[in-house]
Structure 1
Amino acid sequence: MHEVFTSAMLAASVAAAPAQLSSIDELAGTWTLVAADLIKTDGSVVRDYGNAPKGLLVIDSGGRYSLQIFKAERVHFASADKGAGTDAEFRSAVLGSSTHCGQMRLDGGQLHFHIEGASFPNWEGTVQKRNFEFTGEQLRYLVPARSDGTVPVSVWRRLAGQAARP
């Protein structure tokens, strides 16, 4: 179920939350997406990947990760041949997903994503820093602001049966 947050709650909790991780190993496991929202420049919060986004974040004990976010409302291709998609189908597929993988590190109270591969090629070879809040079962972080000033927010929940690491 998607939680509803006010923009003030989102921004304040993530920006002001003290880093509660002593090691990236504490994030090891599989996480499911709870929310992929967007804080607009006026402070309001809107859905960024639709009303029911899907996502998975897998982190190993050394910090290697794979992250996928998908908008549930993406347009299905009319053809079974992916290469025969229309411009609208390709646009929906690309803008309705965000994936990247690489190495995650904890540095200066921030999560650093060292991105090796990404669905947005411009991110490859970059390091992105995230202010975050970690409660053991939930990870919430702010993505760097977009060119229009909006700030994406990702909220992940640890899958059941995976205890937080000491």
Structure 2
Amino acid sequence: MKKGVILVLSFMIFAACQPEKQQDVLDIAGVWKLVELSNYDEEGKVSQPYGNPPLGYFIYTPGGHMSIQIMKNPPHPRLTERPSDSIVAQIARGSITYFGTYSVDKERSVVIHEVEGALNPNYVNTDRERQYSISGDSLIINIESEGSRYKRVLLKVE
């Protein structure tokens, strides 16, 4: 009995001493299915270049790793032979993929994707800041860049 009480108290102390940053990461950790990807230009005109709904998942591990996979819907038809360079380029333009680590700045409601590898070489070794909010099982990510705005809506699946 004494050992059980000591074990429970030790666990409670350990849990209370965990950094707040760890809790911030845990808030966003999980597998999120992409259900909306909307881009807004300077005039507010919306486009959905990856379809409605797009295909994709954002994966955030509790340990701080992330993987982002976005693909156009409908996907490119199956290839029956070796594709030409133009077909390969078309397929590449229809997807966004990158991976690395992430951190959360809860005070600013920002998730920072620290990109280690990506289909787009301009993403490699960059930090991509994304405004985020969580409401129930929904994760909403907003990005602003050079007068344009980008919105991603995801549903937690795991």
Same fold, TM-score > 0.5, yes or no: yes
Change in 2 beyond 3 A, CA 1:35/1:136: same
RMSD: 2.1
Q: Is the 1:138–1:156 Cα contact (8 Å) retained in structure 2? A: yes
Which has the larger helix fraction? 2
Q: Deviations over 1:19-75 (max 9, x none)?
A: xx9511112211100111101111122212122310011111122111100002343
Are 2:111 and 1:111 aligned? yes
Local SS of the residue matching 1:92: helix
Q: Is the 1:74–1:92 Cα contact (8 Å) retained in structure 2? A: no
Change in 2 beyond 3 A, CA 1:114/1:101: same
User: Residue 143 of structure 1 aligns with which residue?
Assistant: 143
2:94 is aligned, of 76, 93, 96, to 96
User: Residue 125 of structure 2 aligns with which residue?
Assistant: 125
User: Residue 72 of structure 2 aligns with which residue?
Assistant: 71
User: Residue 18 of structure 2 aligns with which residue?
Assistant: none
User: Residue 50 of structure 2 aligns with which residue?
Assistant: 49
Question: What stretches of structure 1 of length at least 5 have no aligned partner?
Answer: 1-20
Percent of aligned positions that are identical = 26
Aligned residues: 135
* Larger RCO of the pair (alpha carbons < 8 Å, separation 6+): 1
2:45, 2:136 → 1: CA distance?
Answer: 27
TM-score normalised by the chain length of structure 1? 0.72
Change in 2 beyond 3 A, CA 1:72/1:115: same
Q: Deviations over 1:63-121 (max 9, x none)?
A: 211110000234335434xxx31243122211100011111111252111100111101
Question: What stretches of structure 2 of length at least 5 have no aligned partner?
Answer: 1-21
TM-score normalised by the chain length of structure 2? 0.76
Local SS of the residue matching 2:89: helix
1:134, 1:90 → 2: CA distance?
Answer: 36
Which has the larger strand fraction? 2
- Give the greater-gyration-radius structure (CA): 2
